[in-house]
Structure 1
Amino acid sequence: MDQKWDDLPKRLRTCTRKTIDRLNFKLMTPVQAACIPLFLSNKDVAAEAVTGSGKTLAFVVPILEILLRRETPLRSKDVGALIVTPTRELAVQIDEVLGEFLKEIPHITHQLFIGGNNPMTDVNKFMEHGGNILVATPGRLVDMLNRRDEGLDLTASVKALEVLVLDEADQLLAMGFQRSLNTILSYLPKQRRTGLFSATQTKELEDLIRAGLRNPVRVAVKERGAHGEEVNRKTPASLMNYYMIVESDQKFNHLVAFLQLHKDEKHLVFFSTCAAVDYFTKALKHVLKKMQIFCIHSKKESRNKIFTSFRKMKGGVLVCTDVMGRGVDIPEINWVTQYDPPSSSSNFVHRCGRTARIGHTGSAIVYLRPIEETYVSFLSINQKVPLVEHVPPDDVPDHTAALKKLMLHDRAMYERGMKAFVSFVQSYAKHECSLIFRVKDLDIAKLANGFGLVRLPRMPELKGREFPDFVPTEVDPNTIKFA
């Protein structure tokens, strides 16, 4: 059962409670009720909780309380707290939450260190305004720690550190940031409170806990059912998870029909590769001209702007890969659609966890081919995720002919489609569930027709094979003009 904020053993400062009330967080979630008292009693915390459980406030609130209770206030360039996250989008989101609280605490400052910005801009901002709380991605933080030649001695600033938080710690390791984390830890004082937050537990994570935390209290928050009973599942009980069995050549048609049916709602649509995101974003814009469709894999400098804009919208579609699958909190996502299943089953949980966050309801659907249907049982056993079948509607309009026509009139779309197809097949061949997802079982003709291809690309996976059900268009690609 969720607890009241007044139930905390140590009463929160008025300025903290004022923001909590203004943001309408009436009750603590279980992970908040478990972690906040531990932080405030000088404990290191290693927390495992389902995605969407309110982990951000579980460390933001105690960070603020700890810094407010210092005997001597922090100077402008003293870094009292450091929050490290795997992605820029998650860092932006946490920084926004911090900003809401710091409206009531103007003497505590914060800075955001993420890639995609000019490093010297970050250096100058810190030199001018300081930063008592830093929210950072690992690569940019290591860069900032090595900027002494530009007059920034961040290594001296972090000697005042009271709290370190590693958010989405399992993803930090999965994305290859182990060396960066070791570098960061080497600069930090040993006498600190450390919080490690994760949705899954791995051997690598256990190694990080042993290296970075001192006698941590382990918190594992279980999901509860409608009657308060503990439920052994890794997604929120308020999330409805569906699957749809559909052939490769009909997937795009069903996606378009689904988005049209729910045109006033907010969607995340996941693809397996960046090339597929690029191609299908253009394809959806061509077919769904009246819907707002965004792509998160644009240039780095505009990615933050797209993410921020989409978060403020009440409807629309954001097409993305797993970069958006961890920790990111976009308000009121109604549907998460997994056009391609992710390469790992744990990412399935994190993708669909972008909806039904912190007590809200939401729905997710994954498109599977008939040969992939056993993945439903695999998820139920391996990830404790129950799925309900969503029967595909009959006679959805065919849009793949429009894609073929577009390819023949735009060389850029032709090249995008070929690249997307190749990247998908290569990604499929590397799927961790290789007994279910096997390239040799794919109906290549139906797959190519589903991509709207006018001819098959040359690639090793197709060498020596014939596909009589795919009828190529007789066209010299060099004669197709760029639109």
Structure 2
Amino acid sequence: MASVTALAGSWASLPTPLTSWVFDVVQSMGHTQMTPVQSSTIPLFMKNKDVVVEAVTGSGKTLAFVIPVLERLIRRDHKLRKNEIGALVISPTRELASQIHSIFSLFLSSQPGTEHPDPDEDVPSTSEPSSSTRLPPPLLLVSSAQSSPVQDVQRFVATGADIIIGTPGRVEEFLLGKGKNAVSTKELEVLILDEADRLLDLGFQQTLTRILMHLPKQRRTGLFSATMTDADALSELVRVGLRNPARIVVKVQSKAIADSGRKLGLGGEERRIPANLKIFYVHCRTSEKLVQLSRIISQETTQNGSSRFIVYFATCACVDYFYRTLPLFLSDNANLYSLHGHLPPAARTRTLSSFAESVCTPSSPSILLATDVAARGLDLPDVDVVLQFDPPSDTKAFSHRCGRTARAGKSGRAWVLLTGREREYVDFLAVRKIPLKQRPYLLDDNSAAPSNDDDRVEDEAVPAYLSKIRELLLSDRALHDAAAKSFVSFVRAYSKHEASYIFRVKDLDLVGVAKSFGLLRLPKMPEFKGEDIGDWKDANVDWDAYTYADEAQETKRLAALEEKASKISAPRPPPPDKTKYVPWSNKISKQEEKEKRREKKDRKKKWLKAQTATESGKDSEAPSASKRGRDDDAVASGNDEDDWEELAREERMAKKLKKGDVSQRDFDMEFAEL
């Protein structure tokens, strides 16, 4: 294991000098000095060494593998054939694959044309190849919105690309599906798994295994991530085929802590976030989260001059809903963007481009509302502030979210809103080397509340916010449906939080959540069973007259309402006559015959019991005339004349059976119907 503590050096200090045009591109990007992860990874990777790299977000991991990939392909002894690939980069999301592709494209678009040096010309002695090798453009496998698997193969055949970039599913289809007979991996030089722990967490283990078994063993492999614990990396190294890898961990310490630690002979405090990133948390009620969110944005724009924000929510439905309601509480000049996994790939790409390229100022900020699909790897320039309306279900995503700001040496701030016992999340993150600093509750004038205790009176702005959202929802029933959907999705996501001992639904103030979502009424959910709704009041709504703004939806609703009314007003049909519907198997008639036989058998048993009692009485003592009369009356009253004769006949046959005058078979045949 290699631990990086020294400062990074210049690009010229690399043991193996970079190709001139690669060096020029790096300089044009403004990277005059290497970051620690680059100075530690590039020399090892270029010297036939597998690497496992863990470094904080924004530390330059992408260049740490882009440059070695290019240099290894440039310095090959033999040029790759048109059907052969030299490098494969796999990322967990389309957005990250697109970003990596853009960086490769930046380098490859700057390379010189293929030139053959004049044999009479004096060539300076350098470590570069004697002739520059021009690489074809990399092939990007991002989404079906841009190309299908068949089109991917067609582009590869047409261009002969050396570098393949994509997500696991599309790469598998490219290598083992549509392109099985068209793509050769025999000469593969480098395999890169970016955000390696996320690839494993998303359930791509089997897909990656099939890809890795298809690739040659004589290759260099690199795993890169900002959060890769020992269990994540070491337990999977054998599976992904790394051979004696060098593990590179970039540790971060604040300068003051590091200096004091050296004076005391200590190593100082480790951090898994950039040193110039400050993370704050505000503890508030669930009903006050939306109030605090709007006030934090207002404070950041007015006091700190922030203009570009990312706000993270728990679910896609929450992003869609707050994208439509949050403008009520922001400045009129604020520009909102929505990004989540349920959007089509083309829409996600357009959103990212529009947000990254938007011109924003503190008076006209750009705000991206997103889920964790925008948490990892994306290099969004000039993000000033990251706000987490909901802490992520995957605890590792916390540092990735915060890492969208304070990138490449810049400073940045991140906020997270915590409620109730979620305060314990701060201690949980401290164990993971992510320090958080508490900020007091913000008031309406952006001043701090004098107290932050749980007994503080609920913010007076909450009813006003609730009323304002309800007024918007009443304008369109579709907004009410979106509100209910987002609320339910949030509760479900909350119940599946990895830190379940902190984030427990039974401790969550569901009524407060409903207030922050501006619901018109509480949805019917098992979580509300036995819940104290306190001062909650449903909105005064005539639900039959509550309409959709969309004509098609409203027509459908009216038709359903009319159908329901017709069913209620229609007379109830009489109960079906069971005797009318006789099944073909005559089960009903057979059942009736069976019941008759059972009744006869019961009467027979009673009569035999009475006869046995009578005969035993004759042997001991003759009964009185009155008793005989009563018994006779009882028997006569319980059986009609026909039954009496039948029972008498059976008794006679039973006596003959006992004496042996008739056989058991004859007796059974005689009385089989009983």
TM-score by length of 2: 0.68
- Secondary structure at the residue paired with 1:38? helix
- Secondary structure at the residue paired with 1:433? coil
The match for 2:163 among 120, 127, 133 is 133
The match for 1:54 among 41, 51, 60 is 60
2:14 aligns with 8
Matched residue type, 2:244: N
The match for 2:336 among 270, 293, 312 is 293
1:320 aligns with 370
For 1:55-83, what per-residue CA distance to the aligned partner results, in whole angstroms no more than 9, with x for missing partners?
Answer: 00000001111011011122343211111
Residue 277 of structure 1 pairs with residue 305 of structure 2: no
> Contact 1:82–1:164 (CA<8 Å) still a contact in 2?
yes
Shift of residue 47 of structure 1? 1.1
Cα distance change of structure 1 residues 478 and 217 upon mapping to structure 2, 3 Å threshold: farther
Return 337-346 or 167-176, whichever deviates more. 337-346
Residue 360 of structure 1 pairs with residue 398 of structure 2: no
For 1:20-79, what per-residue CA distance to the aligned partner results, in whole angstroms no more than 9, with x for missing partners?
Answer: 000010111111111100011111111111122110000000111101101112234321
For 1:324-343, what per-residue CA distance to the aligned partner results, in whole angstroms no more than 9, with x for missing partners?
Answer: 11111111110010000111
Structure (1 or 2) with the larger CA radius of gyration:
2
- Provide the rounded CA distance (Å) in 2 between the counterparts of 1:201 and 1:56: 20
Cα distance change of structure 1 residues 234 and 154 upon mapping to structure 2, 3 Å threshold: farther
Shift of residue 287 of structure 1? 4.1
1:175 aligns with 202
1:265 aligns with 307
- Provide the rounded CA distance (Å) in 1 between the counterparts of 2:82 and 2:290: 53
The match for 2:233 among 196, 199, 205 is 205
Query: What is the root-mean-square deviation in Å for CA atoms of aligned residues?
Result: 1.9
> Contact 1:144–1:154 (CA<8 Å) still a contact in 2?
no
Return 395-404 or 357-366, whichever deviates more. 395-404
- Provide the rounded CA distance (Å) in 1 between the counterparts of 2:92 and 2:544: 42
- Secondary structure at the residue paired with 2:185? helix
For 1:171-214, what per-residue CA distance to the aligned partner results, in whole angstroms no more than 9, with x for missing partners?
Answer: 00011111111111121111001101122225353233112211
- Provide the rounded CA distance (Å) in 2 between the counterparts of 1:154 and 1:350: 39
Structure with more contact order per residue of length (Cα contacts < 8 Å, sep ≥ 6) = 1
- Secondary structure at the residue paired with 1:160? coil
Matched residue type, 1:213: L
- Secondary structure at the residue paired with 2:174? helix
Residue 255 of structure 1 pairs with residue 293 of structure 2: yes
Matched residue type, 1:68: I
Return 86-95 or 105-114, whichever deviates more. 105-114
User: Residues 22-171 of structure 1 correspond to what in structure 2 (within 5 A)?
Assistant: 22-105=28-111, 107-108=134-135, 109-117=137-145, 118-119=147-148, 120-148=150-178, 152-153=179-180, 156-171=183-198
> Contact 1:253–1:400 (CA<8 Å) still a contact in 2?
no
Shift of residue 369 of structure 1? 1.2
- Provide the rounded CA distance (Å) in 1 between the counterparts of 2:388 and 2:542: 34
- Secondary structure at the residue paired with 2:139? strand
Shift of residue 380 of structure 1? 1.0
- Secondary structure at the residue paired with 2:367? strand
Where in structure 1 are there 5+ consecutive unaligned residues? Answer: none
Aligned length: 479
Residue 458 of structure 1 pairs with residue 503 of structure 2: no
1:395 aligns with 444
- Provide the rounded CA distance (Å) in 2 between the counterparts of 1:102 and 1:478: 62
For 1:388-426, what per-residue CA distance to the aligned partner results, in whole angstroms no more than 9, with x for missing partners?
Answer: 112232136543322111111111110111011111111
Matched residue type, 2:218: Q
Residue 407 of structure 1 pairs with residue 473 of structure 2: yes
- Provide the rounded CA distance (Å) in 2 between the counterparts of 1:478 and 1:253: 32
- Secondary structure at the residue paired with 2:279? strand
For 1:68-115, what per-residue CA distance to the aligned partner results, in whole angstroms no more than 9, with x for missing partners?
Answer: 101112234321111100011111111111111112236212011012
Shift of residue 155 of structure 1? 6.5
Return 458-467 or 6-15, whichever deviates more. 458-467
Return 465-474 or 418-427, whichever deviates more. 465-474
Matched residue type, 1:306: T
Shift of residue 481 of structure 1? 1.8
- Provide the rounded CA distance (Å) in 1 between the counterparts of 2:324 and 2:81: 50
Cα distance change of structure 1 residues 320 and 477 upon mapping to structure 2, 3 Å threshold: farther
1:243 aligns with 281
Return 445-454 or 14-23, whichever deviates more. 445-454
Cα distance change of structure 1 residues 389 and 204 upon mapping to structure 2, 3 Å threshold: closer
Shift of residue 464 of structure 1? 3.6
1:222 aligns with 251
Q: Which runs of at least 4 in structure 1 moved beyond 6 Å after TM superposition?
A: none
> Contact 1:252–1:400 (CA<8 Å) still a contact in 2?
no
Shift of residue 446 of structure 1? 1.6
Matched residue type, 1:267: F
Matched residue type, 1:12: L
> Contact 1:272–1:341 (CA<8 Å) still a contact in 2?
yes
> Contact 2:315–2:371 (CA<8 Å) still a contact in 1?
yes
The match for 1:474 among 540, 546, 553 is 540
1:423 aligns with 489
- Secondary structure at the residue paired with 2:40? helix
Matched residue type, 2:40: A
> Contact 2:101–2:165 (CA<8 Å) still a contact in 1?
yes
Cα distance change of structure 1 residues 477 and 350 upon mapping to structure 2, 3 Å threshold: farther
- Provide the rounded CA distance (Å) in 1 between the counterparts of 2:385 and 2:29: 24
Cα distance change of structure 1 residues 29 and 314 upon mapping to structure 2, 3 Å threshold: farther
Where in structure 2 are there 5+ consecutive unaligned residues? Answer: 1-6, 114-133, 260-267, 361-365, 446-460, 550-674
Higher strand share: 1
- Provide the rounded CA distance (Å) in 1 between the counterparts of 2:181 and 2:40: 32
Shift of residue 279 of structure 1? 0.7
